[in-house]
A and B are shown apart, each in its own frame.
Chain A
Amino acid sequence: MTPLSGRAISAGPFSALATFLPVDHFLLMVLYALLLSMFLAVLWGSDRPARLRLFAKIFGALVIGGLAVAWLMYPFPS
């Protein structure tokens, strides 16, 4: 994981947060999946067990789906 210290920060009062964020693509994808799956699980789940199941399904689908798409794109040069 690389720190953000080398980046030109232009986010003004919010830039302090940048120190804690990774620039690693996989970690950012996991962070994104975590936030989104937590949100959707609470929004759509009716009770705690349902929310936990939904969280696991959405988080797994986002991370495994992202890796699968990346693997499928691997043979194609950029």
Chain B
Amino acid sequence: MSEPLSLSETTPAKAWTATVLAWVFPGLGHFYLGKRRRALFYAAVVTVTFLFGISLEGRLDTPEPGAPLTYLATFASLGSGLLSILARLLIENPRGNVLSVTYEYGCMFLRTAGLMNLLLALDAFDVAMGRKP
């Protein structure tokens, strides 16, 4: 594993780049910062959580007028970045299967994967700014 960035190497531009990369794909921000083992672990856990959510026929949330909680759910769901966008394009039914016995679990896995990735984006920013090893 490579050494953490020194203070002279940490710039806001680098931190924002790491944050955006971390959102685009789980672990990419940490990989960019040289935290390769951690990046692989994060990529594996978040991607597996996301794919379980899809396989359990959960819903990739979209905002619905008159249902304010769907905005929060959409924010969480879109946190997975490219995974969420690609899944919306690739899968047959991104709204999930409400009749499936695992639908609620699927939704929860998908939203959790998004929230995990948003935490990773914040973590990448902190690492890049030297606030965290």
Contacts and interface: CB of A to CB of B under 8 A. Distances in A.
Interface of A: 4, 7-15, 17-18, 21, 23, 25, 28, 31-32, 35-36, 38-39, 42-43, 46
A36 B100 CA distance: 23
Contacts of A42: 38, 41-42
A7 B123 CA distance: 38
A4 B105 CA distance: 14
- The majority secondary structure among interface residues of chain A is helix
Contacts of A13: 90-91
Given A32-B105, A39-B46, A42-B42, A11 B92 contact: yes
Interface in B96-126: 96-97, 99-102, 105, 108-109, 112, 116, 119-120, 123
- The majority secondary structure among interface residues of chain B is helix
Interface of B: 38, 41-42, 45-46, 48-49, 51-52, 54-57, 87, 90-93, 96-97, 99-102, 105, 108-109, 112, 116, 119-120, 123, 133
B111 to A, nearest CB: 11
B54 A14 contact: yes
Given A11-B54, A42-B41, 20 more contacts: A4-B102, A7-B57, A7-B97, A7-B101, A11-B55, A12-B92, A13-B90, A13-B91, A14-B55, A17-B55, A18-B55, A21-B102, A23-B102, A25-B105, A35-B48, A35-B112, A39-B45, A39-B116, A42-B38, A43-B42
A7 B56 CA distance: 10
Contacts of B97: 7-8, 10
A50 to B, nearest CB: 12
A39 B41 CA distance: 8
A11 B91 contact: yes
A9 to B, nearest CB: 7
